[in-house]
């Protein structure tokens, strides 16, 4: 048994969906659980819709109309027979959503967000499943909300692995008796009260990992528009290299520091059951890609993770006392309450420095509250460069014409908060 995950970019148009069928046909002798994300940028559009509906910032209906048209256009190319049942299925799903946004919200934003945004995956899997059936790949569509059970932390559902495993055994494994392929949704889960939750943005990788864990799958493949895991993001770096093999440990470290190729939560469940994870190109499905598995081998090239729009806060006691444990626990509590994630921190006797993403609203609220107790210095528009398996040469090259505001080195990883020198 294998688990395949296809992300939004791989099913962004009719050709993408056809390509999923092409990829699956290369693996006709394997039972495959196929996990699919919302098509293209649908989740962003649905987020926009959820905001418009909840906060009444603009009319919600035109946004929904656009999402509907996008999906129907794809269907028209995939299903020339307009009496195909997919059209009624989609029509029904969209009608429900139209009705939902006609009513006033009854609960908090995060709850309403999940009920709306989850529709992207429901629709994409309906379309892909129907198309695969047309293409001779008989498959069963399953609602993952009856498999993956979470608590009711909306937008960041915590998975109950025990319950999920029991449901996978009861519902999903038997489905493979009759079908070679099961198609289901990434990103979403269900609560004990049958409400929908989401697992956090880009969470479909994590879904694949949860299901692989519960299925005791032989392997997982994440199909991407890159040839595998690269040692840097091509968006920022001209020269990148594909990594052929990566240990779970290195993969966890890289994703933790912000490598976006795989969702950070993906690795742990796989590592716990020693299930290898492949990252491959959906454009060249027979090429090797990258394998992530148990291993001691360290990477022999540096990997770079680059983040822009960083903010550096320097927090100091107003009365020239030291930063002590009691201040720290209070400071951490504030960061957590304001939902500001710490990317890097450093403590000195009289100051605590923290680098975090420059989310203007969250930072503003946090700084305001910190200022009632501390003096807060603030530096925005910075870059955070993380290099795993650095050499002095790589650091010198990266920091030419840069001013380093904060640096931290461990044996394998260096992190630098920096900005351009004036005039560069
Ligand atoms: N569709 C979701 C998102 O865009 C989940 C995913 O793509 O992994 O965040
Ligand atoms: Mg995605």
The closest ligand to the CA of 36 turns out to be: 1
CATH of the domain at 101: 3.40.1160.10
Least confident of 12-16, 164-168, 250-254, 354-358: 250-254
Average pLDDT, the chain: 95
**Atom of ligand 1 lying closest to residue 44 CA:** 4
pLDDT computed for residue 157 by the predictor = 97
- In a shared domain, residues 33 and 142: yes
Using CA atoms, how far apart are residues 135 and 324, in angstroms rounded to an integer? 65
The residue whose C-alpha atom lies closest to atom 7 belonging to ligand 1 is 202
322 shares a domain with 199: no
Could you tell me if residue 144 is inside a domain? yes
- Predicted confidence at residue 332, as pLDDT, reads 96
Rounded Cα–Cα distance for residues 187 and 181 (Å): 19
Q: Which pLDDT score is estimated for 338?
A: 96
Which residues lie below 8 Å from residue 321, measured CB to CB, with a gap of 6+?
A: none
Which residues span the domain enclosing 342?
303-420
Extract the tokens encoding 332: 């951490």
Atom of ligand 1 nearest to the CA of 120: 1
Instruction: Measure the CA–CA gap between 305 and 255, rounded to whole angstroms.
Output: 9
Q: For residue 389, what is the domain's CATH number?
A: 3.30.2130.10
Using the 3D structure, point to which of 217, 250, 276 is the last residue of a domain. 217
- Cβ of 302 closer than 6 Å to ligand 1, yes or no, is no
Going from the Cα of 13 to the center of ligand 2, the distance in angstroms, rounded, reads: 14
Is 174 within the bounds of a domain?
Answer: yes
Given a cut of 90, is residue 405 above it in pLDDT? yes
Same domain, 191 and 333: no
424: pLDDT strictly greater than 70: no
Tell how far the Cα of 130 is from the centroid of ligand 1, in angstroms: 21
Going from the C-alpha of 152 to that of each of 157, 196, 236, 340, the distances in angstroms are 6, 9, 38, 21
Confidence of residue 326 (pLDDT cuts 50, 70, 90): confident
> Residue 40: CB within 6 Å of ligand 1?
no
Range from 29-33, 238-242, 414-418 carrying the lowest mean pLDDT: 238-242
> Is 106 within a domain?
yes
Ligand 1 centroid to residue 301 C-alpha, Å: 30
- Residue 224, domain member (yes or no): no
Give the mean model confidence (pLDDT) for residues 121-138.
Answer: 98
Residue 386 lies in a domain: yes
- Distance between Cα 37 and ligand 2 center (Å): 6
Report the pLDDT value the prediction gives residue 423, as an integer from 0 to 100: 66
Interatomic CA distance for residues 304 and 324, integer angstroms: 34
Place of tokens 């429901």: 122
| Structural domains of the chain, count | 2
Pairing of strands 181-185, 32-36: parallel
- 34 lies in the same domain as 175: yes
In a domain, 228, yes or no: no
Is there a single domain that holds both residue 34 and residue 157?
Answer: yes
Burial of 400 (0-12, 13-18, 19+ CB in 10 A): exposed
Is a pLDDT exceeding 80 seen at residue 225? Answer: yes
Q: Residue 108 in contact with residue 154, Cβ under 8 Å?
A: yes
Q: What is the pLDDT of residues 77-125, one digit of tens each?
A: 999 999 999 999 999 999 999 999 999 999 999 999 999 999 999 999 9
Tokens of 3: 């688990």
Q: Is the pLDDT at 317 greater than 70, yes or no?
A: yes
237 located within any domain: no
Contacts of 24 (CB under 8 A, 6+ apart): 4, 32, 34, 132, 137, 181
Query: Which of 191, 217, 243 is where one domain is finished?
Result: 217
Do 173 and 319 belong to one domain?
no
Q: Is the CB of 187 under 6 A from ligand 1?
A: yes
Torsion 320-325-328-333 (CA) sign? negative
pTM, entire model? 0.92
- Please tell me the predicted confidence (pLDDT) of residue 319: 85
Give yes or no: residues 55 and 198 share one domain. yes
Would you call 333 exposed, middle or buried from its count of C-beta atoms within 10 A (0-12, 13-18, 19+)?
exposed
What is the average per-residue pLDDT within 324-332?
A: 89
pLDDT digits (tens, 9 = 90+) for 227-276: 999 999 988 888 899 999 999 999 998 998 888 889 999 999 999 999 99
Residue 44 and residue 161 in one domain: yes
178 and 31 within one domain: yes
What does the DSSP 8-state code read for residue 160?
Answer: -
Domain boundary (177, 199, 217) is at: 217
Mean pLDDT of all residues in 388-415: 94
Say whether both 203 and 323 belong to one domain.
no
Q: Are residues 180 and 326 in the same domain?
A: no
pLDDT digits (tens, 9 = 90+) for 358-387: 999 999 999 999 999 999 999 999 999 999
Q: Which residues surround ligand 2, an ion (CB under 5 A)?
A: 7-8, 37
Ligand nearest to the CA of 207: 1
> In sequence order, what DSSP letters do the residues of 15-45 get, joined into one string?
HHHHHHHHHHHTTTTS-EEEEE--STTHHHH
Burial 184-216 (b: 16+ CB within 10 A, else e): bbbbbbbbeeebbbbbeebbbbbbbbbbbbbbe
d(CA 365, CA 15): 45
- The reply to whether 288 falls in a domain is no
């Amino acid at each position: 048994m294998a688990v395949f995950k296809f992300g939004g970019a791989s099913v962004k148009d009719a050709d993408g969906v056809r390509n999923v069928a092409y990829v699956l046909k290369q693996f006709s002798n394997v039972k495959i659980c196929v996990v699919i994300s919302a098509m293209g940028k649908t989740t962003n559009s649905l987020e926009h819709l959820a905001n418009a509906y909840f906060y009444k910032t603009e009319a919600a209906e035109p946004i929904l109309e656009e999402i509907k048209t996008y999906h129907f256009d794809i269907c028209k190319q995939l299903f020339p027979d307009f009496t195909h049942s997919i059209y009624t299925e989609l029509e029904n799903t969209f009608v429900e959503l139209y009705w939902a946004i006609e009513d006033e919200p009854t609960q908090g934003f995060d709850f309403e967000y999940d009920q709306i945004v989850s529709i992207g995956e429901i629709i994409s899997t309906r379309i892909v499943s129907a198309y695969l059936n047309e293409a001779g790949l008989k498959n069963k569509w399953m609602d993952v909300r009856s498999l993956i059970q979470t608590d009711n932390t909306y937008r960041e559902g915590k998975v109950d692995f025990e319950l999920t495993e029991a449901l996978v055994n009861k519902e999903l494994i038997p489905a493979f008796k009759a079908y070679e392929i099961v198609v289901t949704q990434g990103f979403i889960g269900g609560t004990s009260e049958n409400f929908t939750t989401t697992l956090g943005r880009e969470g479909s990788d994590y879904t694949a990992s949860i299901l692989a864990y519960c299925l005791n799958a032989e392997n997982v493949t994440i199909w991407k528009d890159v040839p595998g895991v690269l040692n840097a993001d091509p968006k920022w770096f001209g020269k990148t290299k594909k990594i052929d093999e990566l240990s779970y440990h290195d993969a966890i470290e890289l994703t933790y520091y912000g490598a976006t190729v795989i969702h950070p939560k993906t690795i742990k469940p796989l590592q716990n059951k020693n299930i290898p994870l492949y990252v491959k190109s959906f454009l060249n499905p027979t090429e090797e890609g990258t394998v992530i598995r148990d291993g001691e081998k360290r990477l022999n090239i540096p990997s770079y993770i680059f983040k822009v729009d960083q903010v550096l806060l320097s927090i100091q006691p107003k009365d020239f006392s030291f930063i002590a444990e009691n201040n720290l626990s209070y400071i951490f509590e504030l960061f957590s309450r304001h939902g500001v994630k710490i990317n890097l921190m450093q403590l000195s006797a009289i100051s605590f420095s923290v680098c975090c993403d420059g989310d203007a609203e969250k930072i503003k609220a946090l700084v305001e509250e910190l200022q009632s107790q501390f003096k807060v210095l603030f530096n925005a528009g910075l870059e955070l460069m993380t290099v795993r398996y650095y050499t002095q040469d790589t650091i010198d090259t990266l920091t030419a014409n840069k001013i380093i505001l904060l640096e931290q080195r461990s044996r394998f990883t260096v992190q630098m908060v920096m900005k351009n020198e004036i005039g560069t």
